[in-house]
Amino acid sequence: MARQYFGTDGIRGRTNAGVMTAEIAMKVGQAAGIRFLRGHHRHRVVIGKDTRLSGYMLESALVAGFTSVGMDVVMTGPMPTPAVALLTREMRADVGVMISASHNPYEDNGIKLFGPDGFKLSDEDELAIEAMIAGQQPLATASDIGRARRIDDARGRYVHAVKSALPDDVRLDKLKIVVDCANGAAYQVAPTVIWELGAEVIAVGVTPNGRNINEGCGSTHLDLVKESVVASGADIGLALDGDADRLIVVDENGAEVDGDQIMALIGTQLAARGELRGAGVVATVMSNLGLERCLAARGLSLQRTAVGDRYVLEAMRRGGYNVGGEQSGHMIMLDHATTGDGTIAALQVLAALVKSGKRASELLHQFDPVPQLLRNVRFSGGKPLENARVRSTIAEAEAQLSGHGRLVIRPSGTEPVIRVMAEGDDEREVAEVVEAICEAVAEAAA
């Protein structure tokens, strides 16, 4: 069934256009509310948001939708996505909602839904809610309309939960750490967590104004954290995205450390302690071949999935893994959280740094990445990947890379572009392959 609203990570779009309007948000609240009205208890939903200006509008619309079908609403204010997942379980809520477009600019926003177990919704639930949005939902009687309230201690609850993911014998007293919160949801909690554990914290990206989320900062714009680390002589830099479910690290020299290196570090550290489940790590098709080779050299496997942290999570639960993530920085550690949590992942990195006594540049260089090139080709309509010339060019490229490289071609789940990625031991060959495919796709899309 074709999806009209839900993409790879909830519902997302430009605010006040398409699927991201107050009207649609209210209908989502009504549909999700009805979907999770199960049993005879008083039903509850937890709603969090990042710092986007449009969060106020969408929050109000969702509150109206949920309360109109009889659900009580608890609002947390700006909180990371994993905090909403945590509080949904802790408060015995029936559904959780995060209002965020993650790493996108402030003009966009999104709605992510969690079930009562704190995990993102299944395809079955999303499709059921999609079908219900188009219809008219039964409203609660006047006496059964839900109530809404804000809670003041959500931040403290999450800070406590995140700190418990760090072993009791680990302190961060000797570290100077730059924390870039992308002017987003973690602008208060992430620096607090790391400061309370003893580190000297230099916090940047912590002055949200509704419009500056992810603007020149955070995990997708690393210049700020790199410059801050080098200028301050910090030991390490941590860059989160707008809703703090992903992490990119910067070493003491200002060099970027992506999610693949972080997964290699965390996976091998847990394996050495006998705590890695599934004898490997789960990542997407976009993760570097170097990660796969690194893990294999240590007797560990790499299970690949489609792009999207929800697919990583599904594979982890299905196969009994406890570590997974994406090259872009989503880190899922099921021993501590039900969804990606950049701050928890950061603590695992910091713990390894403290225990090893090494500099970040040495510890975090787990493998030499295989040359990898990703390009995006925008298209306005049609299905360019079904074009005969495109398919022939892709087949030729696959044959050329066979045995010493990989090719991944996929349409984006969030925008009208075809993503073309190739990697292999020969950098020039990789570039030639990507160029040929992009030309074919651009011609077909013209």
Check residue 145 and give its pLDDT. Answer: 97
Q: Does residue 376 share a domain with residue 343? A: no
DSSP 167-193: -TT---TT-EEEEE-TTSTTTTHHHHH
- 34 & 103 share domain: yes
Query: Same structural domain for residues 141 and 265?
Result: no
Residues 280 and 318 in one domain: yes
pLDDT, position 375: 95
* Below-50 pLDDT ranges, the chain: none
Quote the pTM value. Answer: 0.92
pLDDT (tens digit, 9 = 90+) per residue, 63-91? 999 999 999 999 999 999 999 999 999 99
Q: What is the CATH number of the domain that holds 416?
A: 3.30.310.50
Domain that holds residue 33: 6-152
Which parts of 205-268 are beta strand (E)?
A: 236-240, 247-250, 256-257
Same domain, 342 and 379: no
Q: For the chain, how long is the longest CA-to-CA vector?
A: 70
> Which two tokens mark 235?
């030991």
Would residue 32 count as lying in a domain? yes
Q: Which of 303, 338, 363 is the endpoint of a domain?
A: 363
Residue ending a domain, among 341, 363, 385, is 363
The verdict on 217 and 332 lying in the same domain is: yes
Asked if residue 339 and residue 299 are part of one domain, the reply reads yes
Domain-located, residue 1: no
| Residue 2 pLDDT | 66
Residues 93 and 222 in one domain: no
Residue 72 and residue 110 in one domain? yes
| Two structure tokens written together for 248 | 């990119």
pLDDT for the residue 446: 77
How many structural domains does the chain have?
3
Active centre residues (catalytic):
102
The enclosing domain of 96 has a CATH number of 3.40.120.10
135: which residues sit within 8 A by CB, 6+ positions away?
Answer: none
Strand order through the sheet with 176-180: 200-204, 176-180, 236-240, 247-250, 256-257
pLDDT at 307: 87
